[in-house]
Amino acid sequence: MVDYIIETDGLTREFTRRGKGRETLRKTTLRAVDELRLLVGPGESVGYIGANGAGKSTTIKMLVGILVPTSGTVRTCGIDPHRERRRLAAQVGVVFGQRSQLWWDLPVRESFDILAAIHQLPGAAARSRSTELIEQLELTEFLATPVRQLSLGQRMRAEVAAALLHRPRLVILDEPTIGLDVLSKQRLREFLITERREHGTTLLLTTHDMGDIERLCERVLVVDHGRAVYDGSLDGLARAAGAERTLVLDFADATPDLTGIPHTTHLGSEVAGARQRLAFDSEMTTAATVLAAVGERAQLRDLSIEEPDIEDVVRRIYRASR
């Protein structure tokens, strides 16, 4: 039997809202998470994606014991998060992109010291771990700076270090790269890849940035209205959504619209047909076959292939499941 790091079955969470004013007696029930079944094994890296309000944050709050499920079961690191929240806290690290676990008026270094004391980390272990994190996340230059004076990118890196100081087995990142510049994003991703490789840490991350998913996650879970509508690999997601690749073709001369090539869709033409866009289904045909068919009709000068946009893929998955 595998000891799952995350194990939920029929996990459901409802919120009751009261109306305002005269409507105060009318209650409406909203199902934020609906019969979610999720099994995540040790060392897995799962991207948890969905539109705003799809139930991602609610799930995370249930996984760490902040919210109690309405029904269903949840075990995180083999622990019931609600009953044994404090025992679980030693094994889970959470980074909330929107809220800080550092003390805004203290230097970063002092926040780490306090967290080490809170987690009761032995002196040597705390020192070696914080040295490791400071090095890998490149925090040295602003260790003595109060948190309130850090840039967003610096603060996020410090937040990640704070959440990982006690060597959690499971790291949950809720929108970790929101608002970060390209370089900060890249540093953070590289760090997470290293952390996973060296410590076998399990990752669960929610994000709107598909670059995070592509770089960090081998498994994707898509939720819609609290329901899991897809659970599998990233490539499989594109296939399941029927997302097509697009060929951008540049011709030497103006060319009539390339319609009627098998398994392709003509998306549009520019510059009187000197540039055309063809979508093709990679399940049914190959780029080479399409190009051969195109070559029979016109003189090809240049081409490029566009990968499916994953936000678009999610929209397609939503449409298909509704």
Partner 1 sequence: MTLTAETDAIPTRFAGYRAVLASRMRSQRSYRSNFVIDLASSGLVGLIELAEVWLLFHQVTVLGGLNFTQVLLVFGLADMCYSIADMVVGHCDTLPKYIREGTLDVFYLRPQPLLLQLMTSDISLRRLTRAGIGLTSLVIALCINDIHWSVAHVALLVLTIVCAIAIFSAMYIWAAGVQFFLIQGAEFTNAFVYGGRYAATQPAAVWSLPLKGLFGFVFPMALAAYVPALRLLDLPGPAGMPNWLAWCTPVAAVWMWGFALIMWRFGVRHYQGGGG
User: In the complex, which residues of this chain contact partner 1 (CB under 8 A)?
Assistant: 13, 15, 61, 64-68, 70, 82, 85-87, 89-90, 92-94, 96, 98-101, 103, 105-106, 110, 113-114, 116-127, 163
> What six digits make up the tokens of 64?
């760490």
- Cβ(147)–Cβ(105) under 8 Å? yes
Q: Residues 160, 188: contact at Cβ < 8 Å?
A: yes
Closest to partner 1 by CB, 75 vs 245, is 75
- Note whether 246 and 264 are within 8 A (CB): no
* Residue with smaller CB distance to partner 1, 99 or 322: 99
User: Which one, 85 or 199, has the nearer CB to partner 1?
Assistant: 85
Closest CA to 117 of 158, 166, 155: 166
CB of 26 to partner 1, least distance (A): 18
Output the smallest distance, CB 119 to partner 1, in A: 6
- Give the whole-angstrom CA distance, residue 173 versus residue 183: 18
- Extract the runs of DSSP E, i.e. beta strands, from 91-207: 92-96, 170-174, 202-206
Nearer to partner 1 among residue 51 and residue 125 (C-beta): 125
In whole angstroms, the minimum distance from the beta carbon of 10 to partner 1 comes to: 17
CA dist., res. 116 & res. 161, Å (int): 12
Q: Nearest distance from residue 29's CB to partner 1, in Å?
A: 12
Residue 197 half-sphere exposure, CB side, CA atoms within 13 Å? 7
- In the complex, least distance from residue 90 CB atom to partner 1, rounded to whole angstroms: 5
Nearer to partner 1, 72 or 211 (CB): 72
First-to-last C-alpha distance (Å) of the chain: 35
